[in-house]
Amino acid sequence: MATVNLRDVATLAGVSVGSVSNVLNRPGTVSQDVSQRVLSAIDTLGYVRNDAARQLRAGRSRCIGLVVLDIANPFFSDLVRGAERRAAEENLTVLLGDTEEDPARERVYIDLFAEQRVYGLLVSPLGEAMPRLRALKKQGLSTVLMDWHTEDHQFSSVAVDNVAGGKLAVDHLLEMGRTRIAFVGGPHSIRQVSDRFEGARKAVAQHPGATLEVIDTQSLTVLQGREAGHRISQRKAAARPDAIFAANDLLALGVLQAFNLSGRISVPNDIALIGYDDIDFAAAAMVPLSSVKQPSTEIGHTAVDLLLREVAAETDFEPERIVFQPELVIRDSTSAQH
């Protein structure tokens, strides 16, 4: 299966390889006649351009590498969507790598994209990747961080203020008269988790008499939420929190499922529940879920914008840092008084 290449096309069309290339890349500069012959040769041979050779020459590809923590999380799928749309406008394609919150997989994807000489990289990193990203930046790989930023302002970034979001959520719970707050989430090595927790801590600290408990999870999935909810429902009623702030909606929905399954705990009467991200499914939940809304599509969109600016700037580019503000969305899961 010798693959068809430019030379084959050129031979069949009776022209030089240079002309074939011109037909493909500078249609203006080529005569009708040649153009026709070449196109028909391409057609009969079924020629498919070899991107590797093309890139080798060009030095850089027209693909953007996008590395996310979890595509099963609607927050990220919306983000991806925003990024893809913006990229498409610039005739760029987005290649997606899903790490499932695994640092090893993250590293694999970052290195892969670097070796592919992608146009640029969008990453929502786990902490461990930062040194590698710094090294790659020196080699000319532009990277925009999502939901992460560095103190030294070396990277452009677009994020939502997760600390503010966490505070919003827990302030709301406290306002509704809850005092025994539990934070469900983990691992804390994930920036989003620790920041949201930090916001929760702040809120509780300002509120005398309120307590904050941490219920750890191994990841931010429905399954882990179900598990955490199950653990809580096993406790004696007096030992349970009266409000839960889950690090994201998937966890919150899992908790809700577990409570419902147990039949012992009513949301919000026994325990108020608030999530994070305001995914589509939050509003459709058994008990419509209060949440903290992030402009996910806009984040993806903006990240591509920053990347384009950085790549265009070539040299001495001053990284930009954009921070969106989260927004509280109140639904039934936190409304009732108790």
Partner DNA sequence: CCATTGTGTTGAATCGTTTCACCATTAAGC
Partner DNA sequence: GCTTAATGGTGAAACGATTCAACACAATGG
- The runs of H, that is alpha helices, within 235-263 are 249-262
| Count of residues touching a second copy (by CB under 8 A) | 63
Q: Tell me which residue of 234, 227, 288 sits closest to 263, measured CA to CA.
A: 234
The total of other beta-carbon atoms located within 10 Å of residue 170's CB is 28
The answer to whether 24 contacts a second copy (rule: CB under 8 A) is: no
Q: Find the shortest distance in angstroms from Cβ 134 to DNA.
A: 20
Cα separation values, 193 from 1, 53, 137, Å: 51, 43, 26
In whole angstroms, the minimum distance from the beta carbon of 81 to a second copy comes to 7
CB of 42 to DNA, least distance (A): 10
Residues that bind DNA in the complex, under the rule CB under 7 A: 3, 5-7, 15-19, 21-22, 24-25, 29-31, 33-34, 47, 49-50, 53-54, 56-59
Q: Could you tell me if 278 and 293 are in contact, meaning their C-beta atoms sit under 8 angstroms apart?
A: yes
CB of 45 to DNA, least distance (A): 11
User: How far is residue 219's CA from residue 166's CA, in Å, rounded to a whole number?
Assistant: 18
17: partner contacted, choices DNA, a second copy, none (Cβ within 5-8 A by kind) = DNA
Which residue, among 266, 320, 272, has the nearest Cα to 144 in the 3D structure? 320
- State which of residues 140, 211, 235, 266 lies at the interface with a second copy (CB under 8 A): 140
- Asked if 230 is part of the footprint of a second copy (rule: CB under 8 A), the reply reads no
Q: b/e for 213-245, b at 16 or more Cβ within 10 A?
A: eebebebbbbebbbbbbbebbeeeeeebbbbbb
In the bound state with DNA, the residue whose beta carbon lies nearer, of 50 and 266, is 50
| Residue closer to DNA (CB basis): 57 or 236 | 57
Produce one character per residue of 172-182: b if its CB has 16 or more CB atoms within 10 Å, e if not: bbbebebbbbb
Binding status of residue 50 toward a second copy by CB under 8 A: yes
Contact footprint for a second copy (CB under 8 A): 1, 3-4, 46, 48-56, 59, 61, 63, 71-72, 74, 77-78, 80-81, 84, 88, 93-98, 100, 105, 108-109, 111-112, 114-117, 135-136, 138-141, 222-223, 250, 253-254, 256-257, 260, 280-281, 283-288
